[in-house]
Amino acid sequence: MSDSSAVHGAVAEVHPHEHPSYQRHHFETIEQQFDTTNFAMWLFLLTEIMFFGGLFTAYLIMRNWYYPAFVEASHQLNVGWGTANTAVLITSSFTMAMGVWNAELRRKGGLVLCLVLTFILGLAFLGIKTIEYHEKWEKYHIPGIRYSESAFLNPASDPEVHKSYPDDKPLAPDMAAHTEMYFFLYFAMTGMHALHMIIGIAILGFMIFRARAGAYTTGHVTFVENFGLYWHFVDIIWIFLFPLLYLISRHQ
Amino acid sequence: MSAPTIVSLPDQSTARIPKVNFLTKENGLLSWLLTGDHKRIATLYLISITFFFFIGGALAGLIRLELLTPQTDLMAADTYNKVFTMHGVIMVFFFLVPSVPATIGNFVIPLMVGAKDLALPKINLLSWYLYVIAGCMAIYTMAAGGVDTGWTFTTPLSTHYLNTHVISTGLAIFVAGFSSIFTGLNFIVTIHKMRCPGMTWFRLPLFVWSNYAASILMVLGTPVLAITLVLVVLERTVGIGVFDPAKGGDPLLFQHLFWFYSHPAVYIMILPGMGVISEVVSTFSRKRVFGYTAVAFSSVAIAVFGFFVWAHHMFIMGISNYAALVFSLLTMLVAVPSAIKIFNWAFTLYKGSITFETPMLYAFGFMGLFTIGGMTGVFLGSTGTDIHLTETYFIVAHFHFVMVGGMLMAFLSGIHFWWPKWTGRMYPEKISQLAAVVTFIGFNFTFFPQFILGTLGMPRRYAAYPPEFQVLNVFSTAGASILGVGYLLPILYLTWSLKYGAIAGNNPWQATGLEWQIQSPPLTENFPAIPIMDHEAYDYEWLEHEQQKEVASVG
Amino acid sequence: MSEQARHENENHEHHIVSPIIYLAVGAALLFGTGLTVAVSYIDLGVFNPIIALGIAVVKATLVVLFFMHVKYSTKLTKLTVLAGIFVFLALIGMTLADYISRAWGRW
């Protein structure tokens, strides 16, 4: 860090101590910079909590109003894929946390490996989501665009689901119409979540390049740490989406 | 016979604007468009919001012109709907919400906490760009034919019954919302993490406390507006029915989500203005603010309570009686911290050495008009009276009293107060005092009749009205033309002052506060050395001591 | 001045969490996932949603405390997290309160 006093000529008079080259001029110490950006990231996550909050509110209200429709519609979701996705995302949170640890210990190889694993797991999550969405498309469960209530007016017409949920009764036509609301909220919530995953994966791709160039293993772990916060937050959203959409309505 | 004044300017024959300051440090368009300097960003914001203020103001002029006569003769009813909608959208989202925080707040908060810049300068610049993008989208919407849902986008009208540009307006507000979020986020982080040594929380100027409280609201409330707008856009495009009764949705769900932000939004708008008033009242009574702790905590209390009262906008919309009861009670509670502030300012004035420079005139206007507006808010918070008064001109008068009589006056007070610091020049005092008085008179003529119209039963958002309401409407429009003059004058003389105003020097108001101890305009890095705060806020003895030291050290 | 700032800012140690903890938390999360899926197959009536959300809250808490380092963070960070959760619950709670109380009739 011997170049810092040459680069920050005038500032060095005011700050006789050396500071790392990645410290911005308006911060007094690198700890202040780290604390500040960390706090800023947490505040951003608060905005994300409130952003998803609106969707959770809508879901809880509509489920309360149209309980039979929501129960039967949720039976169309494959618990196996949902569980697999949850496991994938939890593992990716683990690899992300390990990535931060590697960055803190300045282990470039470990960091890159962890970031790559997180990246792959993220893609795996999206892949499984694609399979699930495709299945919805095939079965005409895309609200507003390609929707059929036949599976709810007559559960026997959908043998796969009917086998897992033999107690599902045919819904009255007006209640069956509300199953579309369920799928709208399903796609809105998982879609918004998937959008956040896509953004995260894109940033991960960028980070892998920078990590390989050694950008995060010089002691400047802020970016990795703060991105880790974002990634864990997206995981937490899914931790709640999974039971709410897939699990709580399995029985009448 | 000149009125007493605390203005203390340097000798004009020898005074010069400091050669090196944030305005002259770098030149060229890119140095402005890619700046990280909070003061330059504040200047960019000031220009942008002034632009939108005048568009919103022109729309207000059109509204008042139409309402001169009971018939819809100036414009078709549909057009009138578009005019008041765009007036509301622009004034709320593109003027009031960013007004004090993004201009004065951006400029002054780092100076007040003793920092070189805000915590996140690039996010600050991003915030301005988002504002500009949102503004362009709003202008596009107007050019493409406008939207006529009312600024509150009430469903199912906005989702199912109109063919106007709801989606583009919704997206414009979405983007503007993120501009607001990033400003608030920046302020919270700066105030927590960038205070200079010795600057404890209770030595901060009250302007900082107010902006801190408003920033909490921005960060936690605005995202809910964002998701609400997304749902409206999805409802209009895909047609799901979450707000459509015919498909089993609930229009009230929209309103719950919308007002969950929009009520805190009114506190986002007023709190920074209250912060300005604290600074101005203290400076122009030469007295520390009475009950500093109470004012500081009341700002935070307004922010916290402000989250729990939103359904008072929905009393007649179909919420349950029990919910109405709870929200009404909480609304009564939220009035208390605001009243505490008014009391504290009044006690600050008591036995102070009051002078009547322009910022103080606007502050007096604020205190009177905000009190009236706030009290009428309490009438509206009581469900019984609200049933009669809601959706009438009483509501229109109420929110214009608090927003225009309150917030806009506070904004103008702040602009005049910090103008010397910002530009290094004083505005012309006499004409600005005249403008303040003209504004006050015009405001009262415009909006006081509207309280009467409301109690008499004239509904809001109507282009045509029963003829018996015409006299009061004509009064109101006459007042609006006076008000318009009052708002045009500052543009003219403030622009004039940029070239011909008296040189202000460091501390023309002899105010306490770190921002007044540095040059005007400030250096890009604000302070040559990071200050150490060793005295309380509003410490006029300390200031006197400093001034004596200055005199003693010459020669 | 710089010394002062450094002392103020080094109030919290930049604690490096050990991979053992991460492993343990990760395992607990996966176990929790399996548990919540298994319990969902049993019909417990009204307790199904309660248990499922309860397990989700525990999992989320583990992620927040350990993966996101909140357990080792400043009081400010902890307060920030709590503030977010509080306002989130206020939104959902008070809105739902309106919807649920509509069924109670008009007084």
ipTM value for the complex: 0.92
pLDDT of residue B553: 54
C10 plus C29 within the same structural domain:
yes
- Give the closest residue to B357 by CA, choosing from B536, B511, B207, B537: B511
- List chains touching B (3+ CB pairs under 8 A): A, C
CA neighbor of B317 nearest in space, from B380, B267, B391, B397 = B391
Q: Which CA distances in Å does B296 have to A115, B99, B108, B515? A: 45, 21, 18, 20
Give per-residue pLDDT as tens, C10-35: 434 567 888 999 999 999 999 999 99
How many independent structural domains does chain B possess? 1
Helix (H, G, I), strand (E, B) or coil at B503: strand
* pLDDT band (50, 70, 90) for residue A4: very low
Facing residue for A53 by CB, picked from C59, C83, C91:
C91
Which residue bears the tokens 């819809």?
Answer: B72
User: Same domain, yes or no, for C90 and C66?
Assistant: no
Query: Would the CB atoms of C48 and A228 count as touching at under 8 Å?
Result: no
Work out the average pLDDT over B432-453. Answer: 96
Nearest CA in chain B to A44: B185
Q: Return all residues near C67 (Cβ < 8 A) that are at least 6 apart.
A: A93, A94, A96, A97, A228, A232, A235, C22, C25
- Give yes or no: residues C7 and C54 share one domain: yes
Q: Is residue A222 part of a domain?
A: yes
Domain count, chain C: 2
Q: Domain span at residue A197?
A: 30-247
Say yes or no: C64 and C89 in one domain. no
Query: Which of C102 and B216 is assigned the larger pLDDT?
Result: B216
Please report which confidence band the pLDDT of residue C7 belongs to, taking 50, 70 and 90 as the band edges.
very low
Q: What percent of chain A has pLDDT over 70?
A: 92
Please check whether residue A60 lies inside any domain of the structure: yes
Q: Of the candidates B229, B311, B318, which has an alpha carbon nearest to the alpha carbon of residue A54?
A: B229
pLDDT value of residue C12: 41
Residues in chain C: 107
Residue A15: the pLDDT is 47
Query: Does residue C36 share a domain with residue C14?
Result: yes
Lowest-pLDDT range, A5-9, A67-71, B158-162, B503-507? A5-9
How close A244 gets to chain B, by Cα (Å)? 18
Domain count along chain A: 1
By the 8 A CB rule, do C33 and A86 touch?
A: yes
Q: Which domain holds residue B506?
A: 35-548
Give the DSSP letter string of C36-78. Answer: HHHHHTS--TTHHHHHHHHHHHHHHHHIIIIIT-GGGS-HHHH
- Whether residues C68 and C92 share a domain: the answer is no
**Domain co-membership, C62 together with C91:** no
Read off the pLDDT of residues B342-369 as tens digits, 9 standing for 90 and up.
Answer: 999 999 999 999 999 999 999 999 999 9
The amino acid present at B158, given as its one-letter code, is: S
Q: Is residue A6 part of a domain?
A: no
Nearest of B189, B250, B252, B245 to residue B219 by alpha carbon: B189
Confidence of residue B125 (pLDDT cuts 50, 70, 90): very high
The residue range of the domain holding C105 is 74-107
Same domain as C56, residue C6: yes
Enumerate residues 47 to 76 of chain A having a beta carbon within 8 A of any beta carbon in chain C: 49-50, 53-54, 56-57, 60-61, 64-65
The chain B residue lying nearest C105, using CA atoms, is B320
Chain A residues in contact with C68 by the CB 8 A cut-off are 228-229, 232-233
Q: Is the pLDDT of residue B3 over 90?
A: no
Percent of chain B with pLDDT over 70: 99
On whether residue A162 sits in a domain, the answer given is: yes
- pLDDT for C107 equals 64
- Quick one: which of B49, B40, B75 has its CA closest to B61? B75
SS in 3 state form for chain A? CCCHHHHCHHHHHHCCCCCCCCCCCCCCCHHHHHHHHHHHHHHHHHHHHHHHHHHHHHHHHHHHHCHHHHHHHHCCCCHHHHHHHHHHHHHHHHHHHHHHHHHHCCCHHHHHHHHHHHHHHHHHHHHHHHHHHHHHHHCCEECCCEECCHHHHCHHHCHHHHHHCCCCCCCCHHHHHCHHHHHHHHHHHHHHHHHHHHHHHHHHHHHHHHHHCCCCCCCCCHHHHHHHHHHHHHHHHHHHHHHHHHHCCCCC
Q: Do B189 and A55 touch (CB under 8 A)?
A: no
- C49 and C66 housed in the same domain: yes
Rounded average pLDDT over A227-250: 94
How far is the C-alpha of A216 from the C-alpha of B224, rounded, in Å? 34
**% of chain B with per-residue pLDDT over 90:** 88
Rounded (5°) CA angle A118-A120-A123: 110
Say whether both C16 and C53 belong to one domain: yes
Radius of gyration of chain C (CA): 20
Beta-carbon count within 10 A of A172 CB: 12
Which burial class, exposed, middle or buried, applies to B291 when counting CB atoms under 10 A from its CB (0-12, 13-18, 19+)? middle
Neighbors of chain A by Cβ distance (3+ pairs < 8 Å): B, C
Q: Mean per-residue pLDDT for B433-446? A: 97
- Regarding whether C52 and C20 lie in a shared domain, the answer is yes
- Site from A14, A17, A43 to mutate, B interface, most B CB atoms within 10 angstroms: A43
pLDDT at B415 over 90: yes
Domain contains B470 = yes
| Domain membership flag for residue B544 | yes
Closest CA to B124 of B93, B154, B102: B102
Mean pLDDT check: name the lowest of A204-208, B333-337, C1-5. C1-5
User: Counting Cβ atoms within 10 Å, is residue A22 exposed (0-12), middle (13-18) or buried (19+)?
Assistant: middle
Task: Provide the pLDDT for residue A18.
Answer: 62
Location of structure tokens 């045919």? A170
Tokens of C43: 């019909």
Summarised one tens digit per residue, pLDDT across range B15-58 is 889 999 999 998 999 999 999 999 999 999 999 999 999 999 99
pLDDT digits (tens, 9 = 90+) for B258-313: 999 999 999 999 999 999 999 999 999 999 999 999 999 999 999 999 999 999 99
Minimal-distance CA residue of chain C relative to A35: C9
pLDDT tens-digit map of C49-81: 999 999 999 999 999 999 999 999 999 999 999
| Residue B554 burial (10 A CB sphere; 0-12, 13-18, 19+) | exposed
Query: With 60 as the cut, is the pLDDT of residue B538 above it?
Result: yes
pLDDT, chain B, mean: 94
Quickly list DSSP for B289-307: PTTHHHHHHHHHHHHHHHT
Distance of residue C84 Cα from the nearest chain B Cα, in angstroms: 7
In a domain, A13, yes or no: no
User: Looking at CA atoms only, how far is residue C26 from chain A in angstroms?
Assistant: 6
> What mean pLDDT is reported for chain A?
88
CATH number for the domain that contains residue B61: 1.20.210.10
Closest approach of chain A CAs to the CA of B535, in angstroms? 22
